[in-house]
Structure 1
């Protein structure tokens, strides 16, 4: 599985960073999320799925590879 982040949809809430800090971060200048790891290790999948579930802009999704 691969994580995709639609940066233009991001509303800079930071929920993804709180849920999965190893997978997401935020840009300093505007707070928009950035993807640190599009193919996170299996032990990070639950956190990354939680980040996608709580994203208020629905800017994160999982894609089958």
Structure 2
């Protein structure tokens, strides 16, 4: 089993237990579940919703976690 298949299994497990998670996690999980079929081979990361006043530093700090 490769890494992508392993992540797909985890996403399927997460989706099946979605009701047990807080709302902010459910939204991203549903988004990832919807995107999964259209982006084979991509690693879907947990996102974050920023308000309209988010500054460059806040956005860069968040993005740096994924580099």
The verdict on a shared fold, with TM-score over 0.5 as the criterion, is: no
Q: Which has the higher helix share?
A: 2
Larger Rg: 2
TM-score (norm 2): 0.31
